[in-house]
């Protein structure tokens, strides 16, 4: 694995690559790599997938975006997987850029780590890619 870094203003941007590369990939190329890779499988007893609250939130977001361009609020209880729902929405809708606002430094770090692994629980060395 190789990290590619770039600084834009006060922000440091990292990309993680499986093969050696010396430059950041264009956003369009990254987003295009998500095409046809997301499935809306429900979590089962012995199978991975999304929890019912996560599926409900994603379908609510998708439904809203079909009929409106207005902002909306999705409310999910503690422990239902809000971060994974954000990740699933970004990937399934192939969103190029997303702004996520969290109330504390600890939550910002946790959210960034989840996005680095797409919410999949695997060991991954801590990398802070923001200021």
pLDDT in tens, 2-57: 667 777 676 667 777 767 666 777 889 888 988 988 888 898 888 888 999 999 99
Per the domain annotation, does 61 fall within a domain?
yes
Name the pTM for this structure.
Answer: 0.75
Is residue 126 included in any domain, yes or no? no
Query: What b/e readout covers 45-74, taking b as 16+ CB neighbours within 10 angstroms?
Result: eeeeebeeebbebbeebeeeeeeeeeeeee
Residue 88: pLDDT over 60: yes
Q: Domain range holding 86?
A: 2-116
Q: How far apart are CA 32 and CA 13, in angstroms?
A: 19
Residue 13 in any domain: the answer is yes
Q: Is 110 within a domain? A: yes
| Domain-embedded: residue 96 | yes
Instruction: Examine the pLDDT at 130 and tell me if it is beyond 50.
Output: no
Residue 125 above 50 pLDDT? Answer: no
Report if residue 128 sits inside a domain: no
Q: How many structural domains comprise the chain?
A: 1
The answer to whether residue 91 scores a pLDDT higher than 80 is: yes
Q: What pLDDT is recorded for position 131?
A: 40
List the structure tokens of 64: 């809203």
In a domain, 124, yes or no: no
Confirm whether 121 is domain-assigned. Answer: no
């Amino acid at each position: 694995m190789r990290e590619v870094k770039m600084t834009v203003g006060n922000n440091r941007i990292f990309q993680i690559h499986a093969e050696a590369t010396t430059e950041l990939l264009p956003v369009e190329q990254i987003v295009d790599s998500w095409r046809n890779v997301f499935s809306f499988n429900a979590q089962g007893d012995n199978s991975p997938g999304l929890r019912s609250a996560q599926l409900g939130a994603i379908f609510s977001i998708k439904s809203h975006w079909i009929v409106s361009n207005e902002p909306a609020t999705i409310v999910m209880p503690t422990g239902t997987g809000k971060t994974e729902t954000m990740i699933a929405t970004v990937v399934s809708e192939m969103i190029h850029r997303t702004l996520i606002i969290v109330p504390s430094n600890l939550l910002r770090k946790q959210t960034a780590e989840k996005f680095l692994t797409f919410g999949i629980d695997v060991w991954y060395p801590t990398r802070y890619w923001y200021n």
